[in-house]
Amino acid sequence: MSLRSDKRQWGSIAKLFHWLVALGILVNGVWGLLMTDMSPSMSKISIYALHKSIGLTILALFFLRLAWRLYDRAPPDEPAPLWQRVAAHATHALLYGLILAMPLSGWWYNSLHGFPLQWFKLFNLPALAGKNEELAHTAHAIHEYLFYLLLLVLIAHVGAALKHHFFDKDNVLRRMLPFTRTRRNPSP
Which residues between 114 and 133 bind another protein (CB under 8 A)? 114-118, 121, 123-124, 133
Tell which one of 1, 33, 43, 155 touches another protein (CB under 8 A): 43
CB 139 within 8 A of CB 109: yes
Tell which one of 16, 27, 49, 100 touches another protein (CB under 8 A): 49
Contact range with another protein by CB under 8 A, out of 41-49, 79-87, 95-103, 169-177 = 41-49
**What's the per-residue H, E or C state across the chain?**
CCCCCCCCCCCHHHHHHHHHHHHHHHHHHHHHHHHCCCCCCHHHHHHHHHHHHHHHHHHHHHHHHHHHHHHCCCCCCCCCCHHHHHHHHHHHHHHHHHHHHHHHHHHHHHHHHCCCCEECCCEECCCCCCCCHHHHHHHHHHHHHHHHHHHHHHHHHHHHHHHHHHCCCCCCCHHHCCCCCCCCCCCC
Least CB distance to another protein at residue 154 (A): 30
Site string for another protein, 159-188 (x = CB under 8 A): ------------------------------
Kindly state whether residue 37 participates in binding another protein, applying the rule CB under 8 A.
no
Least CB distance to another protein at residue 61 (A): 22
Least CB distance to another protein at residue 43 (A): 8
Tell which one of 41, 83, 184, 185 touches another protein (CB under 8 A): 41
Contact range with another protein by CB under 8 A, out of 27-35, 40-48, 70-78, 84-92 = 40-48
Q: Which residues contact 9 (CB under 8 A, 6 or more apart)?
A: 1, 75, 171, 174, 175, 176, 182
Least CB distance to another protein at residue 102 (A): 21
Q: Which residues are at the interface with another protein (CB under 8 A)?
A: 40-43, 45-46, 49, 114-118, 121, 123-124, 133
